[in-house]
Every structure is written in C-alpha cells, then in structure tokens.
Amino acid sequence: MRPDDRRYATTHEWAKIDGDSVIIGITDFAIDELCNGNEGDLVYCDLPEVGRMVEIGETFGEIESVKAVSDLQAPITGEVVEVNPVIEDHLQVLAEDTWGKGWMVRIRSKAPNLDHMLDAAAYEEHVAAAH
Amino acid sequence: MQDIWRLITTWGTSPEFNMGLDEALLLEGDQPTLRLYTWSPDALSLGWFQKATQVSEIESASATVRRLTGGGAIHHEGELTFSISCPQAHPLYRGPVGPSYARIHGAIILALRQIGLPARLRGEEPLTSDNPASSMCFHHSTPLDVAWNGRKGVGSAQRRKAGRVLHHGSIKVSSTPLEGSIATFENASEEHTAQSFAPLLLEHMRQHLGLQLVPSVPSREERELAEDLGARYSTDEWIRQR
C-alpha cells in the first residue's frame, strides 16, 4: 500500500499538503514504467525554475529514461517556490526514496486542496487496471 | 475484436511537416495512428534532451530539427521512418516502457527476416556499432534494440504526454557519412527501398500486433495544426534550446 498521507493523480504524480504549500513527486509506478526496475535507466529530469506559475494539468517538467521522455503534470495551480536540488545530480533518489527525499517541487497555492485527486486506495485500483 | 488503426503514409515530406504532424497526432489524434514516412530534404534530428553544442553533425546536415522524443541524434536519409501515436492505455503500450518496445520491435524483426536479414533484439551482447563518444542514436544500444550482423539497424524512442504515447522509429536501409558503421539492407536477399519495404512491414504489423490498418490521410485540421506546430522545429531557438 502506498502512503495515505497524500493524494495521487491518474498521470502518476503524488501531492502532499505541507502547511500552505504542496509537495509534488512521481510515484513508484511511474518510475517503474520508465525504467523497468533498473533505476540507472533514468537519465535526465527537467524541473521548473523557482517562481514559475503553473496551472493544474500543465506540464511542469519532464523526465527521461533511456527509452522514453515523459511529461510531469501539475496536479494543482500555484507558484513553484522550491525545487529539489538533489535530483539534478542524483536521479536515483527518485527510486530510492520516492515518498521522501525524491520529491520534485513545492508549489504554493492560495488554498491547497487535493480533493480532486485519488486517495491511496483509489490509486491502487487505478494502477491495477493499468497493468 | 480487431484493433482498428489509421495508416498515414507521406513520402518525401519536409522535416518540419513530419515533426509537426507527429506532434499534432500526439496531441489531437482521436484514434491510434501508424505513420510511415521519408524525409525531403534529408535531416538530422536531435533527441529532446540533447545539447546542440555536443552534436557536431549539425554542421554537416542539410537540415536539423529537434524531436519531441528522447535518445540520440538520427540522420534521416536512406531510412523508413515510422511513428505511432495512441493512448498510453492501449495494450501495446500499457505498463512499463521496455515491453512496449519488445512488442513493436518483434513485428519489425519478422519483416526484416523476410528479406534475409538476421535481425534480433540485441540482448546483453554489445554491438560493434556502439561508440560511447558519438552523439548519434545508432552508435548507442540497449538490450531491446534491433540489430543484425553485430550492428544496430533500428532506432526508436518514445514520448509519453497526458496519457498518450508518441513512438518514433527509424529502420535503416542504407548508411550515410553522418551515421556510418550501422546495420543496413546491404546484405538483404532482396533489394528494397524504404517505400518498397513498407508493405512488408505493414503485413507483419497486421499479423504480429493484430492491427487492422485503415489507409487514411491527415484531416484538414490535422494538416493545419501540423503546419503551425511544425514551423518551430527547425528554428534556431527550438534547436538550440538546450
């Protein structure tokens, strides 16, 4: 079971409310789809500049594995206030600590609300259907 | 139930139109689509994340574009290019990326074997075409790449966006000075051009992948979107964005 302290997008991003902002990452399912169990296959991750405004559903970054580029979609609207500096040089952190040190960006939103996203149980069902 | 796909063939279309139409089909296509095409003029395409300054072949290329898909640079000359655009939930692409390559490459391998080329997935053996110092796609290989005679002969890469997939692939009929030491149709039992090989490939895609391919042309809206989107692919701003 994936953590139930956060919500999940059908496009495989996770979002966790932290004070007046939301931390965003991608799920273990997304990582496994891209690198098929070999985290060394992740080669590049392009994340936004701090200060950029993103709209819900907008592409906020891209991740590349040896064989595919995948867009990262913002699950909420707001301003990017922090980008995980570890990822650029240590992509493996996405697989090693997906729910913790593998976060990607922090987005500040006026009224953080993740009710439109899936809870952990619903996401489990979603990925089970995707296989 | 038969899986009905559109089949769009465009021979000798411009680099900008080719990239623009693939993007239009990725963004707007309402039905899975297989495109087969060639390029005129020939062009170098950079992978999405490649740094332009690290691809010296740009200086010698007739034209250059940057693809939406990842991987290394490709010289699109003497090749049959394909693109597939479909929902990520389609059975061919559902799940991890690796097996989706194996499915598509399986059909390509059967078509290549039909013309006497000993094509196979590379597996764990490195290839003589591998060259770590090169920026070209065909000089790098992974276990799921298609190779024959110890060299890579098919290059492919994917883009996954908003629940849809764009899969680009190049099947090499002949090599060029920009992309030497690769597998080609040179030792095939039959002589083929990109266009004459296309029906064989389609037959194996129908049989092996269970696709019903319905010949089609881009709609007026798709052509207009392709032209709008395509115009930026060869601009300096686009090519040198990295």
Alpha-helical regions (H) of B37-192? 97-114
In whole angstroms, what is the distance from residue A60 CA to residue B62 CA? 33
Alpha-helical regions (H) of chain B? 15-28, 97-114, 194-209, 220-230, 236-239
Cβ of B94 within 8 Å of Cβ of A131? The answer is yes
pLDDT band at B1 (very low <50, low <70, confident <90, very high): low
| Tokens 């095409």 belong to residue | B37
A67 in reach of chain B (CB within 8 A): yes
**Which residues of B have a catalytic role annotated?**
137
Give the residue, A1 or B5, on which the prediction is more confident: B5
Give the best residue of A34, A42, A69, A91 to mutate against chain B (max B CB count within 10 A). Answer: A69
Q: What is the mean pLDDT of residues A53-63?
A: 95
Query: Does residue B29 carry a pLDDT above 80?
Result: no
Please give the backbone phi and psi of residue A20, each rounded to the nearest 5 degrees, phi first. -95, 15
Query: Does residue B111 carry a pLDDT above 60?
Result: yes
**Residue B207 CB neighbours (<10 A):** 12
In whole angstroms, what is the distance from residue B146 CA to residue B151 CA? 9
Find chain A residues with C-beta within 8 A of B92's C-beta.
none
B102 in reach of chain A (CB within 8 A): no
pTM of the model: 0.92
Q: What is the mean pLDDT of residues B39-43?
A: 97
pLDDT at site A6? 97
Find chain A residues with C-beta within 8 A of B98's C-beta.
36, 67
For residue A7, what are the CA distances in angstroms to A10, A23, A80, A87, B231? 10, 11, 18, 22, 39
pLDDT at site A110? 85
Q: What is the mean pLDDT of residues A74-79?
A: 96
> In this predicted model, what pLDDT tens digit does every residue of B157-211 receive, in sequence order?
999 998 899 999 999 999 999 999 999 999 999 999 999 999 999 999 999 999 9
pLDDT at site A76? 95
| Tokens 């002969």 belong to residue | B153
B71 in reach of chain A (CB within 8 A): yes
**Residue B14 CB neighbours (<10 A):** 19
- DSSP summary character for residue B136: B
Query: Does residue B115 carry a pLDDT above 70?
Result: yes
In whole angstroms, what is the distance from residue B188 CA to residue B196 CA? 13
Cβ of B69 within 8 Å of Cβ of A130? The answer is no
Contact B109, B122 (CB under 8 A): no
Contact B137, B155 (CB under 8 A): yes
Q: What is the mean pLDDT of residues B48-57?
A: 95
Please give the backbone phi and psi of residue B200, each rounded to the nearest 5 degrees, phi first. -65, -45
The predicted complex's ipTM stands at 0.84
Length of chain B: 242
User: What is the token pair recorded at B104?
Assistant: 């598509």
Find chain B residues with C-beta within 8 A of A131's C-beta.
94-95
Q: Could you tell me if residue A14 is left (phi over 0), alpha (psi between -120 and 50 degrees) or otherwise beta?
A: beta
CA distance A33 to chain B (A): 4
Q: What is the mean pLDDT of residues A20-30?
A: 95
| H-run or E-run covering B154 | strand B151-161
pLDDT at site A72? 96
Give the best residue of B23, B49, B67, B92 to mutate against chain A (max A CB count within 10 A). Answer: B49
Measured at the alpha carbon of residue B48, what is the angle toward residues A95 and B123, in degrees to the nearest 5?
60
Please tell me whether the peptide bond between B96 and the residue prior to it is cis, using omega within 30 degrees of 0: no
| Structural domains for chain A | 7-130 (2.40.50.100)
Task: Say whether B107 sits in a helix, a strand or coil.
Answer: helix
| Structural domains for chain B | 3-239 (3.30.930.10)
In whole angstroms, what is the distance from residue A104 CA to residue A24 CA? 6
Task: Say whether A31 sits in a helix, a strand or coil.
Answer: helix
Name the residue among B69, B89, B160 with its Cβ closest to that of A71: B160
